[in-house]
């Protein structure tokens, strides 16, 4: 993690520690574990979004008339695995955030954060000025 990523993580961590300070049975360690899980889920969902945008290419090599031809086809099994994984992770994120009363939106566009959380205090760290992202 470089300095900029560390600063961004510290900003997110301090916001969540401040927000959930008065919650019963919520300590700093639980929040850090939740943020690390959310970051891992964010990274995976972002990769899946990139795959959906770029396709799921599988290279086929054929030799015809003594010449080698390479072309790409859509790998349907890979696409199905990604769809199943995406649904599973989205359910995990919803369950994780539900215990902190956080509403979640998902973004399928790889140019932005995949997980957008609508916090109870209505603050933001995104361009949309309404949600928090956990990418660093």
Name the domain count of the chain.
1
20 token code pair: 């959930």
Tell whether 70 is covered by a domain: yes
Question: Does residue 129 have a pLDDT over 90?
Answer: no
The model carries a pTM of 0.80
Tell whether 136 is covered by a domain: no
Structural domain of 40: 3-118
Strands 57-64 and 67-74: antiparallel
Question: Does residue 47 have a pLDDT over 90?
Answer: yes
pLDDT per residue as tens digits for the range 27-36 = 778 888 888 8
Tell whether 49 is covered by a domain: yes
Convert 95-125 to b/e letters by CB count within 10 Å (16 or more is b).
Answer: ebbeebebebeebeebeebbbbbebeeeebb
Residue 67 phi/psi, 5° resolution? Answer: -115, 145
Question: Does residue 92 have a pLDDT over 90?
Answer: yes
Tell whether 105 is covered by a domain: yes
Q: What pLDDT is recorded for position 43? A: 92
Across residues 119-129, what is the average pLDDT? 80
Whole-angstrom Cα distance, residue 135 to residue 106?
13
Question: Does residue 61 have a pLDDT over 80?
Answer: yes
């Amino acid at each position: 993690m470089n300095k900029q990523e560390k600063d961004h993580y510290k900003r997110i961590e301090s916001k969540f520690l401040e927000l959930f300070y008065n919650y019963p049975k919520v300590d700093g360690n639980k929040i850090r574990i939740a943020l690390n899980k959310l970051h891992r889920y964010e990274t995976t969902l972002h990769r899946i979004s990139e795959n959906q945008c770029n396709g799921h290419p599988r290279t086929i090599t054929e030799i015809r008339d003594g010449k080698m031809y390479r072309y790409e086809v859509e790998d349907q099994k890979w696409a199905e695995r990604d769809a199943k994984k995406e649904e599973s992770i989205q359910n995990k994120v919803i369950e994780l955030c539900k215990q902190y009363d956080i509403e979640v939106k998902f973004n399928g566009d790889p140019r932005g954060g995949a997980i957008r959380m609508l916090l109870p205090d209505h603050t933001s760290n995104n361009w949309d000025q309404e949600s928090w992202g956990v990418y660093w």
